Amino acid sequence: MSIRIIIIQNRPTQFDVPLYAKVNRNSVFDLIVYYTRVACSDSSAIDPETAIAPQWDHLHGLVYQARFEQSAFLMWRQIIALEPDHVVICGWYPRSHALLTLLLRLSGVHIGVRSDNTLEHTHLSGISGGLKRVVMLAWLGLFHAWHPVGTLARAYLEKLSIVQRPVFYFPYAVDIDWFAEQAASYQMQRSSLRKKLGLAEDDYVVLGVMKWAERENPLTLVDAFIKASSVARNMKLLLVGDGPLRPVVEKRLATDPKRLVAPGYAKYSELPLYYAISDLFVHPAQSEPYGVSVQEALACGLPVIVSDKVGAAADFLEPGRNGDIFPVGDVDGLAKLLIAYSYRQHDPAIREAALRKANEWSYQRTIEEWRQCLEAKL
């Protein structure tokens, strides 16, 4: 009899769906995914930070077992009938996840929790923080296993719970094979693709893929670029995305508009193109518990510079080898890094380090973590 895993998740994501399709395609496990926000079943929800619906066109045609259900009681009854070997609850939102957790635990079902919370991004002081600690102590003890998305999320779970549980990572991994293959294809057309965007072959292209909103902080990148490009005159800024800060960004760069290339909001299938024609990726976010774009860029061979508020840095970056970290909002610090990396434009060691680190958190690793979880249960 095949091993059955059920995942409870609020909505589809651009990085998880290809994993689920891979598991289904290769018959690794009998995998069933329940989505609990039915309104998001077509991935067309409007992003509140940009007022734009995500364009996850790369998901078309991917096949796996998915069900859409909001009722915790109906899910519980169906799951009991399915007799799964393990159920993963992805977070505690919506509230039906909490009720379903209680019902499954009382029914003797083996359950785990996937969590992306980090100590850095969680308020734990004062009365509200104290209440949160009490609730988390009780909540985390309900599970037989923990599935943090990375090492910072693991530290959060271990800090807040008195009772420790076995840890099996369930990262926000992207399809690194797809990104690498797509980027390699576009790199063969690098000169012509750059020319179409008004970029020269010898330009040093700094890439940002972000929401042009306060949380993702494009203005720190813009201001650092203005400083750095006064020294490195061949530096250009390729800023992919859109959002409420677009007028401010364009105004900051109005004195030299040719240094900015802003193609607008991109479909997900277009991202490898932008990574392939760039030399450096920057994610300057003010608050980002994870940040999947870090692995996307590394999978395409790019060095990555992030603020110290981007959680993925803990698992993906080796400062000085495949990228660097700067204090959030430090324009001068980021500008110095932009200049420093422009001098390493053709360093093959950076590309090798980027690809190696990206591959450490692959779909295959996730599958192996699931296997270890099931073996530990037995």
The mean per-residue pLDDT over the stretch 57-70 comes to: 96
Residue-by-residue DSSP string for 62-105: ---EEEE---HHHHHHHHHHH--SEEEEE-S-STHHHHHHHHHH
The mean per-residue pLDDT over the stretch 211-217 comes to: 95
Lowest mean pLDDT among 60-69, 228-237, 256-265, 275-284: 256-265
pLDDT computed for residue 325 by the predictor: 99
Tell which residue, 27, 21, 106, 32, has the closest CA to residue 65. 32
Burial 4-18 (b: 16+ CB within 10 A, else e): bbbbbbbbbbbbbbb
Distance CA 78, CA 104 (A): 11
Lowest mean pLDDT among 144-158, 164-178, 256-270: 256-270
Number of Cβ within 10 Å of residue 361's Cβ equals 23
- Six-digit token string for 101: 């957790």
Domains and CATH numbers, the chain: 4-173+362-377 (3.40.50.2000), 176-359 (3.40.50.2000)
pLDDT computed for residue 43 by the predictor: 47
How sure is the predictor about 54, in pLDDT bands with cuts at 50, 70 and 90?
confident
- Specify the DSSP element, H or E, that contains 347: none
Mean residue pLDDT of the chain comes to: 94
- Six-digit token string for 199: 């970029």
pLDDT computed for residue 124 by the predictor: 73
More confident residue, 52 or 294: 294
pLDDT computed for residue 1 by the predictor: 52
Q: 88 and 38 in contact (C-beta within 8 Å)?
A: no
Say if residue 10's pLDDT is above 90: yes
The mean per-residue pLDDT over the stretch 35-45 comes to: 65
What separation in angstroms does the CA of 195 have from each of 247, 265, 348? 25, 20, 24
How sure is the predictor about 192, in pLDDT bands with cuts at 50, 70 and 90?
very high
pLDDT computed for residue 48 by the predictor: 79
Distance CA 142, CA 51 (A): 37
pLDDT computed for residue 240 by the predictor: 97
The whole-angstrom distance between residue 33's C-alpha and the CA centroid of its chain comes to 19
Collapse the DSSP code of 324 into the 3-class scheme (helix H, G, I; strand E, B; otherwise coil) and give the result: strand
pLDDT computed for residue 214 by the predictor: 95
Global pTM reads 0.94
What separation in angstroms does the CA of 223 have from each of 16, 36, 252, 309? 34, 41, 8, 18
The 10s digit of each residue's pLDDT in 343-372 is: 999 899 999 999 999 999 999 999 999 999
What separation in angstroms does the CA of 151 have from each of 56, 116, 209? 27, 10, 24
pLDDT computed for residue 41 by the predictor: 46
HEC string for 160-198: HCCCCCCECCCCCCCCHHHHHHHHHHHHCCHHHHHHHCC
- Six-digit token string for 181: 């293959």
Tell which residue, 149, 121, 115, has the closest CA to residue 129. 121
What separation in angstroms does the CA of 139 have from each of 7, 136, 143, 157, 196? 18, 5, 8, 11, 53
The 10s digit of each residue's pLDDT in 302-341 is: 999 999 999 999 999 999 999 999 999 999 999 999 999 9
With a pLDDT cut of 70, the percent of the chain lying above it is 97
Distance CA 152, CA 150 (A): 6
Distance CA 92, CA 327 (A): 31
- Parallel, antiparallel, or unpaired for β 280-283 and 204-209? parallel
The 10s digit of each residue's pLDDT in 83-132 is: 999 999 999 888 899 999 999 999 999 999 999 999 887 777 777 777 77
**What does DSSP assign to residue 321?**
T
